[in-house]
Chain A
Amino acid sequence: GDSVTQMEGPVTLSEEAFLTINCTYTATGYPSLFWYVQYPGEGLQLLLKATKADDKGSNKGFEATYRKETTSFHLEKGSVQVSDSAVYFCALGKGTYKYIFGTGTRLKVLA
Chain B
Amino acid sequence: ETGVTQTPRHLVMGMTNKKSLKCEQHLGHNAMYWYKQSAKKPLELMFVYNFKEQTENNSVPSRFSPECPNSSHLFLHLHTLQPEDSALYLCASSQGLLPGGGEQETQYFGPGTRLLVL
- Could you list which residues of chain A lie within 8 angstroms of chain B, going by C-beta atoms? 30, 32, 34, 36, 41-46, 49, 51-52, 89, 93-104
What residues on B are CB-neighbors of A104 within 8 Å?
Answer: 42
What residues on A are CB-neighbors of B50 within 8 Å?
Answer: 97
From B45, B90, B112, A98 is in contact (CB under 8 Å) with B45
Q: Is the CB of B42 within 8 A of A97?
A: no
Q: Is the CB of A93 within 8 A of B105?
A: yes
Q: Is the CB of A32 within 8 A of B102?
A: yes
Q: Is the CB of A95 within 8 A of B42?
A: no
Q: Is the CB of B111 within 8 A of A32?
A: no
Q: Is the CB of A97 within 8 A of B55?
A: yes
From B98, B101, B110, A30 is in contact (CB under 8 Å) with B101
What residues on B are CB-neighbors of A52 within 8 Å?
Answer: 101
19 CB < 8 A contacts A-B: A42-B112, A43-B2, A43-B90, A43-B109, A44-B90, A46-B2, A46-B106, A49-B106, A51-B102, A94-B99, A95-B101, A95-B104, A97-B56, A97-B96, A99-B43, A100-B42, A101-B42, A102-B42, A103-B40
